[in-house]
């Protein structure tokens, strides 16, 4: 049985090092699951992330209505995912979740 490569990865960064690996993995999984819930599927998260990276790398002179909608949706989705990720951990001021395409 082939196991599909994930379309995106989530890594908890700058959280105190004494966090057990299982707790770190659980927080990253909660974050990813919430992003998937907000966007509908892992593929849609990856597509949104790809578009976000494109907008950051070469910003258009005029942002289209669909790009603006995506930016707003990403902001709301990442806020919800952050809350889910830090649930049961407590927030650390400098900590964040790094989301990358695989």
Contacts of 12 (CB under 8 A, 6+ apart): 19, 24, 27, 28, 31, 85, 95, 96, 97, 98
69-97 per-position pLDDT tens digit? 999 999 999 999 999 999 988 767 889 99
| pTM summary value | 0.89
21-59 per-position pLDDT tens digit? 999 999 999 999 999 999 999 999 999 999 999 988 988
Size (the chain), residues: 102
């Amino acid at each position: 049985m082939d196991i599909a490569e994930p379309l995106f990865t989530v890594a908890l960064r700058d959280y105190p090092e004494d966090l057990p690996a299982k707790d770190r993995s659980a927080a990253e999984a909660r974050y990813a699951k919430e992003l998937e819930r907000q966007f509908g599927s892992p593929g849609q998260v990856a597509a949104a992330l790809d578009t976000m990276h494109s907008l950051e790398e070469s910003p258009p002179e005029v942002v289209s209505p669909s790009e603006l909608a995506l930016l707003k949706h990403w902001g709301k989705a990442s806020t919800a995912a952050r809350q889910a990720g830090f649930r049961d951990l407590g927030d650390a001021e400098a900590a964040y979740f790094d989301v990358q395409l695989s």
